Amino acid sequence: MKVWPQLFLIAGTNRNVGKTTLACRVIEQISKEQQVVGVKISPHFHELGSTLEIVHQSKNCFITFETSPVPVKDSSRMLAAGAQRVYYIQANDESLPEVFEFLHWNIPGSMAVVCESAALRRFVEPGMFVILSGKGEVVKNLDLLLWADVHVQDFNFESLKFRFSHGGWQK
C-alpha cells in the first residue's frame, strides 16, 4: 500500500453525511497558513461540465481541474473554500492506482491535500483518514471504519480541529 502523509482523506458510510462540508472546513482552516489542494473522486461517470478542464484522460479515468469558484458543485465549493487548485476525478476502482500516481507526481510534496474518496483508502494510507456516518443505516464502506483515524457521526465535527505541519496531519 502506498503511503501519502500529506493526504487528508474523507469517506462516508452513506450519502449526505457531510463529506464535502468537512472537506471545505478543513480547506478553509488550513488555507490560511498553507497551500492546499482539493480532490473529489467519483466512481460515477457523468457529462463533464463547462467549468472542468481535462488534464488527463484514459479508458476509465478523467482527471480535471475545477475552474469556477462559484459554489454549485462539490469541487467548486472546495475552490471557494480556499483550495489553490481542485481536481475533480471520475474513475473506477481499477484506475485508482493511476489516479494516485498522477496526483502524487503533480502535487508538490509540501502541499496539503484534502480529498473526498472512500475507494482511494483501499490503495493509499493517508496522513489522516476521517469517515463520516449519519443517523441512518450504514450502507457502504463498513470495512473502512477499522482504518479510520477519526469516526464522526451525525455531523458532529464542529469541535474538530486539524493541523498540517512538517508534511503531515494532526488533530
CA dist., res. 33 & res. 85, Å (int): 15
Residue 96, all three cell numbers: 485508482
| CA atoms in the 13 A half-sphere facing the CB of 68 | 9
Task: Supply the DSSP symbol for 123.
Answer: T
Give φ, ψ of 58 to 5 degrees. Answer: -140, -170
> What percent of the chain lies above the pLDDT cut of 70?
97
| pTM of the predicted model over 0.75 | yes
Mean pLDDT of 113-138: 89
More confident residue, 100 or 13: 100
pLDDT given for residue 1 in this prediction: 84
Confidence band for 17, pLDDT divided at 50, 70 and 90 = confident
Cell, residue 24: 471545505
**CATH code linked to domain 2-170:** 3.40.50
Over residues 41-48, the mean pLDDT reads 85
Q: Cβ contacts of residue 58 below 8 Å, gap of 6+?
A: 95, 98
* Residue ranges per structural domain of the chain: 2-170
Residue 85 dihedral angles phi and psi, to the nearest 5°: -150, 150
Over residues 28-43, the pLDDT tens digits come to: 999 999 999 999 999 8
Each residue of 79-116: pLDDT tens digit? 999 999 999 999 999 999 999 999 999 999 889 999 99
Which tops the pLDDT comparison, 153 or 12?
12
pLDDT at site 137 = 64
In the chain, beta strands by DSSP E: 2-12, 36-42, 52-58, 61-66, 85-91, 112-116, 124-133, 150-153, 163-165, 168-170
Task: Give the three cell numbers for residue 94.
Answer: 481499477
